[in-house]
Structure 1
């Protein structure tokens, strides 16, 4: 990207709760550091005006769950130099991907008075299942500091400095006591990517994997520790892997293991 020009930034919503977009609004003080180099060309959550593409960076929140989502991601890819999957829904299908493990039609018939009016795809999936994604920002919601780093890296033409290691390293650096070793609390930290600031272990509860699997996720080993040493029932282990990032491949495979 041309460092002399402002970055033309677009923000898009697919099937999601808007939480990651709200992180952008809540992080307005952090954006002051890059305010002079970024133009919000499209951000309906925060601004009325919409500038036409082509966009330098598109931040996409949400999973591909409806036919509209599937069409929109193709449009986004054509209009954008860099596409960033923003948050757990965009990177792994999110909480709505839990329906991929069951009969969604059955649930719709039970819940909705007119299920025939609901138009959805067979599965809720990540952006990368449909288009090429240049970068991923994990989390539910994302870490705004990681977003600022990614935008700065794109402008400088370098690789963003984003963690891929496990949450355990984050806990160690911050001086938190391991909840599993000290208290026998089941924790997804050993297989979950760092980035949240170890919010849950900081208050004595186990990580529940909202940043998805780290690059060295040994899910089988964690399963065995929980089952043999902590005596966690197998059904509870399966539910732990079927959380916010259940459709991420390592977590999905472990939850389906017999």
Structure 2
């Protein structure tokens, strides 16, 4: 059934990111075709240059706030959106670019750019929720396509998304994966990481890297001694935590 002017509107926006989470939406293929029959995609530059003005019933935002323009733009997006959902590690936790939060950004700028005076940037990379109210945060680097479709359909249907908030360890148990830490002494962030990947890395004998950020019930300080027991010194532990969701894990560690 074709969409009409009264169909709910969906908008997708990008801030500082790699576009991976938007590509996850495009990769939904059959589900996306069904979705486009139910909603009117009013703004999605990754898919089409055709843009309709807001307001929008549901806006998905990928990317972190890293520039003054980002901060101004996300406020405008929030004002034009009935519901705003952030998607991916960048939008929900500042992303891997939040490593700048622990360094001298001016030094980076001078080192990387021939004319740093032309570069306008903030000293930190922060999640969207630090700047505006967010209705839901969908985690992952990148996000899971099944969870994404669930979130979109839930908001359009006026119900709460059914996205679990437990850890990756639950997913290992469900698929019958032997614990890599218990069996092999492999460092793993699964006990403190939000589920959503299907425990992909542990299923192949590798420790979880924390792509989905902290889960709903995190006791990160309790995991640190286990990582040390499994051969990591303090520097290695910090490097293990400072990846896709560096700012989120740092916040949990210092809370």
TM-score (norm 2): 0.94
Q: How does 1:29-44 map to 2 (within 5 A)?
A: 29-44=30-45
Q: Is 1:238 the counterpart of 2:243 in the alignment?
A: no
The match for 1:251 is: 250
Q: How does 1:78-93 map to 2 (within 5 A)?
A: 78-93=79-94
Which stretch shifts more, 15-24 or 30-39?
Answer: 30-39
The match for 2:144 is: 143
Name segments (4+ residues, structure 1) moved above 6 Å: none
TM-score (norm 1): 0.93
Q: How does 1:93-112 map to 2 (within 5 A)?
A: 93-112=94-113
User: Which whole-Å deviations, capped at 9, do the CAs of 1:148-167 have from their partners, x for residues lacking one?
Assistant: 11111112211100111000
The question of whether the paired residues in 1 share the 8 Å contact of 2:218 and 2:252 is answered with no
- Give, in angstroms, the shift of residue 216 of structure 1: 0.8
The match for 1:70 is: 71
The question of whether the paired residues in 2 share the 8 Å contact of 1:98 and 1:246 is answered with yes
Q: How does 1:160-171 map to 2 (within 5 A)?
A: 160-171=161-172
Count of aligned residue pairs for this structure pair: 251
The match for 1:154 is: 155
CA distance in 2, matches of 1:241, 1:155: 35
CA distance in 2, matches of 1:206, 1:115: 39
CA distance in 1, matches of 2:74, 2:111: 30
Note closer, same or farther for the CA distance 1:73–1:113 as it changes in structure 2 (3 Å cut). Answer: same
Find the residue that maps to 1:11 and give its secondary structure: strand
- Give, in angstroms, the shift of residue 125 of structure 1: 0.1
The gaps in structure 2 that reach 5 residues or longer are: 1-5
Question: How much is the aligned-residue C-alpha RMSD, in angstroms?
Answer: 1.5
- Give, in angstroms, the shift of residue 253 of structure 1: 4.8
The gaps in structure 1 that reach 5 residues or longer are: none
CA distance in 1, matches of 2:182, 2:209: 16
User: Which whole-Å deviations, capped at 9, do the CAs of 1:189-212 have from their partners, x for residues lacking one?
Assistant: 000000011111111111111100
CA distance in 1, matches of 2:208, 2:158: 34
- Give, in angstroms, the shift of residue 33 of structure 1: 3.9
The question of whether the paired residues in 1 share the 8 Å contact of 2:168 and 2:190 is answered with yes
